[in-house]
Amino acid sequence: MLDSHQPRETQRVALVIQYLGTHFHGWQRQKHHRSVQEEIETAIAKILGHHVTLHGAGRTDSGVHAAAQVAHFDATGLIPPHKWASVLNSYLPKDILIKASAGVDNRWHARFSAAYRRYRYTIYTEDWPNLFVTPFSWHYYYAPLDETLMQAALEPLLGKHHLAAFHRAGSKRSHSWVEVQAVECDRSGPFIHIEIQANGFLYGMVRLLVGMLVQVGSGQRTLANFTELWKEQRREEVKHAAPSQGLCLLRVGYPDFPFTPDVWYDTMPKLVFSQESLVNPSATLRVNSQQSTVNSN
């Protein structure tokens, strides 16, 4: 803990945070449940000797992962902003990692200054489960999925739309306008990856959307019906959300991002099929370190 008798100045500190969502009840602090926000706030309090509030760019649900969540807090003390990452990591559990820290202007806000958020959802389509894959994907083996149909369903979502059909009950948001900036659905062997980038997301939006895309890809719902459903805001027909473990908050973008671009490198490599697995059954997957081609402008 820092010496409380030393003079202190307030400094806003931004963090880039990775976490495995498996054992968390989401980002937001809540009574009687483990949350990412509370774990980090507790660590900061141990260092500073008093509580501070951590403000996140997005509130991921229970079980959802983050490759590069962004948050900020106001610190008083002698720790330089760029040192907070290493200091905090020595206090945090192994399922949370601070990738980087930096000082920012006191008007900068992790949530309200953000220009976009990008999520990826991973579906694993092999018949048999894989213990190294299923914690980070939806194991869907009930019917073949056509990723070209799923991509075709995604493309009309580009632009600014009312997306109340993909809005879970319980949200405090006063409107359902979302500006979708980029979408992508691709396949690598048994893995289907769905990426969507928008200025913001409704509560439960990505998981509800993926659940409906799977209905399109499996032939349970037509493209025309899917498009009519969200354009006419028929929320009552959207009943099945995709499981949380397949979803990952990839990154948050800012016009004045306080970190160097390399903070994003390899934040969440795609799970992709390897030809090696045809020869060596133990080599069931490889890591593709190339960045997603989704437009981030």
Q: Are both 86 and 148 inside the same structural domain?
A: no
Judge contact between 213 and 123, C-beta under 8 A.
no
Overall number of domains in the chain: 2
Q: Are both 141 and 274 inside the same structural domain?
A: yes
Distance set, CA 14 to CA 68, 75, 118, 255 (Å): 12, 10, 18, 14
Strand partners, 103: 13
Q: Are both 233 and 135 inside the same structural domain?
A: yes
Q: Are both 87 and 142 inside the same structural domain?
A: no
pLDDT in tens, 122-139: 999 999 999 999 999 999
Q: Are both 31 and 135 inside the same structural domain?
A: no
Residue among 61, 74, 127, 186 flagged as catalytic: 61
pLDDT at 280: 47
pLDDT tier, 244 (very low <50, low <70, confident <90, very high otherwise) = very high
pLDDT at 9: 78
For the record, the structure tokens of 246 come out as 């397949």
Highest mean pLDDT, choosing among 6-15, 63-72, 273-282: 63-72
Residue 64: give the domain boundaries.
10-104
For residue 279, pLDDT over 50 is answered with no
Catalytic-residue membership of 95: no
pLDDT in tens, 94-123: 999 999 999 999 999 999 999 999 999 999
For residue 179, pLDDT over 90 is answered with yes
Task: Quote the pTM value.
Answer: 0.86
From the number of C-beta atoms within 10 Å of its C-beta (0-12, 13-18, 19+), residue 144 rates as exposed
pLDDT at 106: 93
The CATH number that applies at residue 126 is 3.30.70.660
From the number of C-beta atoms within 10 Å of its C-beta (0-12, 13-18, 19+), residue 176 rates as middle
% residues pLDDT > 70 (the chain): 83
Q: Are both 137 and 31 inside the same structural domain?
A: no
Q: Is residue 189 part of a domain?
A: yes
Strand partners, 100: 16
Nearest to 270 by CA among 122, 130, 68, 64: 122
Q: Are both 245 and 120 inside the same structural domain?
A: yes
Judge contact between 250 and 67, C-beta under 8 A.
yes
| Greatest C-alpha distance within the chain | 67
